[in-house]
A and B are shown apart, each in its own frame.
Chain A
Amino acid sequence: MHIVVCIKQVPDTKNVRIDPDTHTLVRQGVESIINPFDMFAVEGALKIKDENGARVTVLTMGPPQAAEALRDTLGLGADDAVLLSDRAFAGSDTWATSTTLAAAVRKMGDVDLVICGKQAVDGDTAQVGPEMAALLDVPFATFVKKIDVARSGSITVHRQTDEGTEVWKVQLPALVTVIKELGEPRVPSLRHKMRAKKAEIAVWGNSELGLDPNSTGLCGSFTQVVRVFSPQRRGSRVQLEGSIENQVEQLFQYLKKARVPGL
């Protein structure tokens, strides 16, 4: 079984600051970490490897320094790592990112399962996983907290939803996005860490992926950030006080005065 885990380097959210003038993230001096949800994805893949045997490849798209994040996952026990790095990939929105990641998975050829974190803590879109599945034309399940591997070329996943847990049988190849409940990430092992230190990390650019340049990076992005701004503070606020009954009465009168339909 070949599992690909997609990870993203994000600024350590514990120390994030916003530049008051540009309204963008101050990245200088902020340490990058692997998106915490992606760490659960790595742990999920390694658990399958421990229990059923699997080859785990970790995939990321990013600048050359993203190789360090990949190296960290090799220290945890992943077998291989691929970095997608090319100037042509810069400025990608989620669609262009998914296009590029999906092309890499397709190039690997023999992938049975792709695992992604449910979302990245910087953009919080939760789009890349499902988009990749669409592009790869494979079934997918989101918000997965448990993965059981069956012998018959399928997996059983437990999805966390607002209403409860859904149990799905998913035919492989497939893609899942995972949540914290999948399991705390492990610590590295010394042997894996030593191997990771020396490991060659494959770097693929667009010459390896062979994508239409118009489908990657800024050119391939349907969305572009035009402006970033902080929301205006709301002007008037009314705070209701008194007993609950009294507050309800006040609220009712307020809504009535505001001509809310039906009141």
Chain B
Amino acid sequence: MDYFLTEEQKMIQELTEQIAREKIRPVRAELDESEQFPWEIMRILAQADLFGLYIPEQYGGMGGGIFENCLAVEKLGAACIGIATSFAASGLGAYPILLFGSEEMKQKYLPQIASGKRLAAFGLTEPGAGSDVSGIRTTAVKDGDSYILNGSKQWITNGGESEIYSVLAITDKAKGPRGASFFVVETGDPGFSFGKKEKKLGIRASATRELIFQDCRIPADRLIAKEGMGFVIAMKTFDKSRPGIGALGVGLAQGALDVAVEYARKRVQFDKPIISFQAIQHKLADMATKTEASRALIYSVARYMDSEPREVSKVAAMAKLYAGDVAMEVATNAVQVLGGYGYMKDYPVEKMMRDAKILQIYEGTNEIQRNIIGQELNKEYGRLKESFF
């Protein structure tokens, strides 16, 4: 399919495809096995200017948008979404600063993030607050020119590897959801430490750790925007980042489809390549159709969002929901096409199937995405004067 990309967008695809082919594919199985953080690949992505794709040029970025970032993430994700997640998580951590930070804060942090010299991360989830963000307990109390943070964040992607963290904490418990605020916390801040590295089903090259704040004192100017803006910042950040998660799904589905079709053409049973059997053909046809539909949706949503419309929550949720579900389905079916070989670690689809599951869970479970879409539909149709009966 031709998606009428610009020269620059094609260049992003070309470059990320080269990195995926030459640098990621040869090491993905090993990093999955050893659970080592892919620092060498992060260095390559940094040298290739990719960490700054969506960051404006005045802050050292490439001045692209969500779409450009999606194109990169898709190609990297086709090789390994564990590694691509480590890359994308820095963007998630950067968005609160990019969208709501003061000019001074942007000048300080964005060039470091854009150059890939320092990775960022996003700290929201807590043991008691996942889908229900209002359950967060981490507090930030103002003390003169400082804030003092106490509490912990759970399952933070890039935790312990990143140096810049956007962290959500309660500044005024009485105000409920309006009492939360975002802060920038840096590695080395007093009272800031990390828990153990989590063992995971998939995306094992990515690092997931607990962030621990024990009387963690940070300068007051690390507050992003104003007190009480926390939930708004979280929601706007997720709106921006969700198409990227969808793009990881498109990449993973494409990667699994590529392996499945190549295998089906070569594998001979009953004296014929198995792709000649309809049972396999139909499976591959559905996998290919859904992968392309998923890509078309992600590209449309990303381009639409780059035009900066007012309401994006519904389409951003659709992008994440659909591409994540398709990735899970396509990866599962790729394993089925490869049969016993697919179940073994000698072929990459076993890893892809384990990896795909996270796409339905992180950055808002797919159930939460359906909630968002449902609520937005209710609002949208409530505003209409017209009846369709």
Contacts and interface: CB of A to CB of B under 8 A. Distances in A.
Interface of A: 186-191, 193-194, 197
Contact of B49 (A186, A190, A197): A190
Label chain A's interface by main secondary structure. helix
A190 B18 contact: no
Contacts, number: 33
B48 A189 contact: yes
Given A187-B18, A187-B23, A197 B48 contact: no
Interface residues of B, number: 17
A191 B23 CA distance: 19
Interface stretch (B5-13, B184-192, B327-335): B5-13
B50 A190 contact: yes
Contacts of B62: 190-191
Label chain B's interface by main secondary structure. helix
A191 B15 CA distance: 11
A197 B11 CA distance: 10
Contacts of B49: 189-191
A197 B7 contact: yes
Contacts of A190: 11-12, 15, 48-50, 53, 62
17 contacts: A187-B15, A187-B18, A187-B19, A187-B22, A187-B23, A187-B44, A188-B15, A189-B47, A190-B11, A190-B48, A190-B49, A190-B50, A191-B62, A193-B11, A194-B11, A197-B7, A197-B11
A194 B52 CA distance: 15
Contacts of A187: 15, 18-19, 22-23, 44, 47-48
B334 to A, nearest CB: 27
A50 to B, nearest CB: 10
B12 to A, nearest CB: 7
Report, nearest first, the 7 A-B pairs whose CB atoms are least far apart: A190-B49, A189-B49, A189-B48, A191-B49, A193-B11, A187-B19, A187-B48
Given A190-B53, A191-B49, A193-B14, 14 more contacts: A186-B44, A186-B47, A187-B19, A187-B22, A187-B23, A187-B44, A187-B48, A189-B47, A190-B12, A190-B15, A191-B62, A194-B11, A197-B7, A197-B11
Interface string B36-52: 00000000100111100
Contacts of A189: 47-49
Interface in B196-230: none
